[in-house]
Amino acid sequence: MRLSALIFPLLMLLAPGWAGAADDPLKSAVWPDMVRRFADSAPVVFDERVRVLAPNLAEDSLNVPISVKIDGLEEVRRVVVIADFNPIVKVLEFRPSGARPALSFRMKLQQASPVRALAQTADGVWHAGGVWVSATGGGCTAPSTGRSSGSWADSLNQVQGRVWPQDGARRVRVRIMHPMDTGLAPGIPAFHLERLSLRDASGRELMALDLFEPVSENPVFSFDVPGTAADALTLVGRDNNGNRVEASLR
């Protein structure tokens, strides 16, 4: 067991509010609000085992690559990804019930902001990690580029997927055609994927995702699941207008 795994619970007993604004390694003025909003009164600790990988400068604010990787933290039940200064703070949530607690994707960023992952373990504690990402701005208030094409609806919710061996498991990468409109561009209502579920051949859920408006247009997700490339996988889901997603992956 790592020494940090023993120190964190002791610190919480001695100082329950230790993950406050003064202790935030990213020095965000709104961090106490993030804790109140997303931790729901549960303990929060900053944990080096929760890593968020992102560019220091996002050259394309509509497509900022983000990877969340959690190593050495047991019984991760759910992971929430937030951007402190986005007009829509919550980006997505995933629950790796049968997959590794890791996810790569792209998001929209309105301005420079901490991007954080909050991982809740079975004991109810939230483990936080994150990075500052500078951005050119406007990622959440711009219309989707696909709407300039009159044929975007013809490919709505179509899935492109690939599965290949990776470190004794399977790397799964899927792309779903969807405009992912935030509702913040004039005259365009919010229209986005809101739920995805990756299941094995028996129907067991391996990874569940709740998606929100800041996820990039035509989103791409990569994650690792157990099994071999020969095992069938199914992706199902829906958007906020009730349109269905369903695809078989091999």
DSSP secondary structure letters along 123-168: TS-EEEEEEEEEE-S-TTTSPPGGGGSTTGGGGTT-EEEEEEEETT
| Mean pLDDT across the chain | 90
Confidence of residue 149 (pLDDT cuts 50, 70, 90): low
- CATH number of the CATH domain containing 207: 2.60.40.2470
- Could you list the residue range(s) of the whole structural domain that residue 68 is in? 3-249
Express each pLDDT in 2-52 by its tens digit.
444 444 444 443 334 445 555 899 999 999 999 999 998 899 999 999 999
Which amino acid type is present at position 45? Answer: V
Angle at alpha carbon of residue 117, lines to 218 and 156, rounded to 5°: 15
Domain total of the chain: 1
Determine the average pLDDT of the residues in 198-205: 94
**Could you tell me if 126 and 43 are in contact, meaning their C-beta atoms sit under 8 angstroms apart?**
yes
Which two three-digit tokens encode residue 74? 């047991």
